[in-house]
């Protein structure tokens, strides 16, 4: 086989549903929270990119709006060489310029999976990384009103539990609709519970009402020696001026840029002096290619990049960059067994996924390196769409006929979008 002749022959999206136990939603339905006895069903997708050599790249975790963007790219992708990730990143970005460009991420990740499988190497090796311990922080579910993480004392108890398990860092996702005094009590109470040696962060995920509330919690973070203060208030996490102003009034480092997209916007935030820690995520910021660009740009400014959310792809990236600190393990809760679908075999980002020192490691298999439980996926599959030539999936349900030409042939029914954010 010549690497020059490798081509993308088909694209597939599989959708499955899974149900979480003891998980509900908060007052405005946007945040997952603990709720005893509740069952929350979510829809999730897998992007599969098939090639002329029979190697398939997979991305798990597809969502509706991003999938719609990827559908716009299928006609472009079929016939391209899947190893030409840089060109595909650049072209896809332009093709999606009127949208948020998140469609570039899953495509790039699937292409990296193809490359890793082709060269029989885990992605962190492809990236020049090192097999090393990745220190994890316990990233909580949001505060609830249901007796789970319902009070500062319950957060403090959970932080203590995580410390005893080996975690060296703990991040609070607090409440969105309560008095700001409860947020401040939470910041001070968790610090008092775990002592000075645990790194603490708080992520209001843009729920605080205004700058005054933000400043009040920021000053509590100063008092409690927090590691970072993330996306605090309802500017949406996008205002460079507001966060430059905030930085001048508190001591705690700010983490911004989770809610902006791709390299250029991240660099603009940095040069505007509007963040201390830089946020990037492979699923939103152009895949592994896009995230490595942001990591390198951040390194050039002498700053650190912190990856948004867990998953095997982020373990690979974190194994391959110097200027980073913590792996986000979440969302976790003392009374919720998991907030993830059981889509992977022998892989977990649940509460007990760390070793006794609070670390996780990148997978060692080729490509993304984690085996998908296809029997489970097919048993829970609810929808499928294909473009180009796609192998017989041996489905467990009746598939509508699909075209076998490279032309776009969207056979999917409307995918309902689950708007509950896995906001981490």
Q: Please, which residue, 124 or 137, has the CB nearer to Mg ion? A: 137
Query: 142: closest CA among 331, 335, 326?
Result: 331
Q: Please, which residue, 123 or 250, has the CB nearer to Mg ion? A: 250
CB of 376 to Mg ion, least distance (A): 29
Pair 310, 327: CB distance under 8 Å: yes
DSSP state letters, 56-117? EEEEEEE-HHHHHHHHHHHHHHTTS-TT-HHHHHHHHHHHTTTTT-TTHHHHHHHHHHHHHH
Q: Please, which residue, 242 or 389, has the CB nearer to Mg ion? A: 242
Contacting range for Mg ion; rule: CB under 5 A; set: 109-117, 192-200, 254-262, 323-331: 254-262
Residues binding Mg ion: what is the number (CB under 5 A)?
A: 2
Separation between Cα atoms, residue 135 and residue 310, nearest integer Å = 12
Pair 232, 217: CB distance under 8 Å: yes
**Residue 203 sits in the site that holds Mg ion (CB under 5 A):** yes
Contacting range for Mg ion; rule: CB under 5 A; set: 27-35, 94-102, 109-117, 258-266: 258-266
Q: Please, which residue, 95 or 311, has the CB nearer to Mg ion? A: 311
Q: Please, which residue, 307 or 313, has the CB nearer to Mg ion? A: 307
CB of 200 to Mg ion, least distance (A): 15
Query: 48: closest CA among 356, 401, 315, 381?
Result: 381
By beta carbon distance, the residue nearest Mg ion is 203
Pairing relationship of beta strands 32-51 and 56-62 according to DSSP bridges: antiparallel
CB of 208 to Mg ion, least distance (A): 13
Contacting range for Mg ion; rule: CB under 5 A; set: 57-65, 217-225, 233-241, 256-264: 256-264
Q: Please, which residue, 58 or 285, has the CB nearer to Mg ion? A: 285
139 has which bridge partners? Answer: 171, 330
Q: Binding marks (x or -) toward Mg ion, 292..321, rule CB under 5 A?
A: ------------------------------
Separation between Cα atoms, residue 337 and residue 10, nearest integer Å = 37
Query: 419: closest CA among 131, 25, 132?
Result: 25
Pair 368, 123: CB distance under 8 Å: yes
CB of 379 to Mg ion, least distance (A): 33
CB of 205 to Mg ion, least distance (A): 5
Q: Please, which residue, 203 or 235, has the CB nearer to Mg ion? A: 203
Contacting range for Mg ion; rule: CB under 5 A; set: 47-55, 62-70, 238-246, 252-260: 252-260
Contacting range for Mg ion; rule: CB under 5 A; set: 62-70, 141-149, 197-205, 331-339: 197-205
Virtual CA dihedral for 126, 128, 130, 134, nearest 10 degrees?
-80
Gyration radius (Cα) of the chain, Å: 21
Q: Please, which residue, 58 or 258, has the CB nearer to Mg ion? A: 258
Q: Binding marks (x or -) toward Mg ion, 346..385, rule CB under 5 A?
A: ----------------------------------------
CB of 229 to Mg ion, least distance (A): 11
SS3 104: helix
Separation between Cα atoms, residue 206 and residue 317, nearest integer Å = 26
Q: Specify the DSSP class assigned to residue 414.
A: P
Separation between Cα atoms, residue 421 and residue 424, nearest integer Å = 9
CB of 177 to Mg ion, least distance (A): 18
CB of 386 to Mg ion, least distance (A): 34
Q: Please, which residue, 331 or 370, has the CB nearer to Mg ion? A: 331
CB count, 10 Å around CB of 64?
16
Pair 122, 365: CB distance under 8 Å: yes
Judged by the rule CB under 5 A, the positions of this chain that interact with Mg ion are 203, 258
């Amino acid at each position: 086989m010549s690497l020059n002749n490798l081509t993308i022959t088909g694209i597939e999206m599989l959708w499955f549903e899974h149900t979480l136990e003891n998980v509900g939603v908060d007052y405005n339905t946007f945040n997952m929270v603990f709720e005893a006895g509740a069952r929350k069903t979510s829809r999730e997708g897998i992007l599969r990119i098939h090639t002329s050599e029979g190697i398939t790249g997979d991305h798990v975790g597809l969502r509706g709006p991003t999938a719609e963007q990827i559908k716009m790219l299928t006609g472009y992708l079929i016939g391209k060489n899947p190893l030409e990730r840089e060109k595909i990143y650049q072209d896809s970005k332009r093709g999606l310029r009127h949208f948020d460009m998140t469609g570039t991420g899953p495509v790039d990740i699937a292409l990296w999976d193809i490359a890793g499988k082709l060269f029989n190497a885990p992605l962190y090796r492809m990236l020049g990384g090192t097999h090393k311990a990745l220190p994890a922080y316990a990233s909580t579910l949001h505060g609830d009103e249901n007796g789970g993480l319902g009070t500062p004392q319950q957060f403090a108890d959970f932080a203590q539990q995580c410390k005893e398990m080996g975690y060296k860092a703990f991040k609070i996702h607090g409440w969105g609709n309560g008095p700001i005094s409860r947020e401040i009590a939470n910041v001070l109470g968790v610090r008092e519970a775990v002592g000075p040696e645990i790194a603490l962060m708080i992520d209001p995920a843009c729920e605080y009402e205004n700058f005054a509330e933000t400043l009040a919690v920021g000053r509590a973070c100063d008092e409690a020696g927090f590691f970072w203060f993330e996306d605090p208030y309802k500017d949406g996490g996008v205002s460079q001026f507001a966060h430059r102003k905030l930085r001048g009034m508190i001591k705690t480092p700010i983490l911004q840029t989770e809610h902006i997209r791709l390299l250029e916007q991240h660099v603009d935030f940095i040069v505007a002096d509007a963040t201390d820690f830089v946020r990037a995520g492979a699923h939103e910021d152009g895949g592994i290619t896009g995230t490595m660009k942001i990591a390198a740009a951040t390194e050039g400014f002498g700053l650190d990049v912190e990856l948004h959310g867990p998953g095997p792809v982020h373990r690979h990236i974190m194994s391959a960059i110097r200027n980073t600190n913590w792996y986000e393990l979440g969302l976790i809760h003392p009374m919720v067994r998991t907030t993830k679908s059981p889509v992977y075999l022998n892989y977990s980002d649940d509460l007990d996924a760390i070793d006794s020192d609070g670390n996780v490691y990148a997978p060692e298999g080729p490509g993304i390196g984690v085996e998908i439980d296809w029997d489970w996926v097919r048993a829970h599959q609810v929808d499928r769409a294909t473009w180009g030539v796609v192998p017989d999936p041996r489905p467990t349900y009746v598939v509508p006929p699909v075209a076998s030409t490279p032309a776009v042939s969207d056979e999917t029914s409307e995918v309902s979008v689950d708007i509950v954010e896995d906001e981490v």
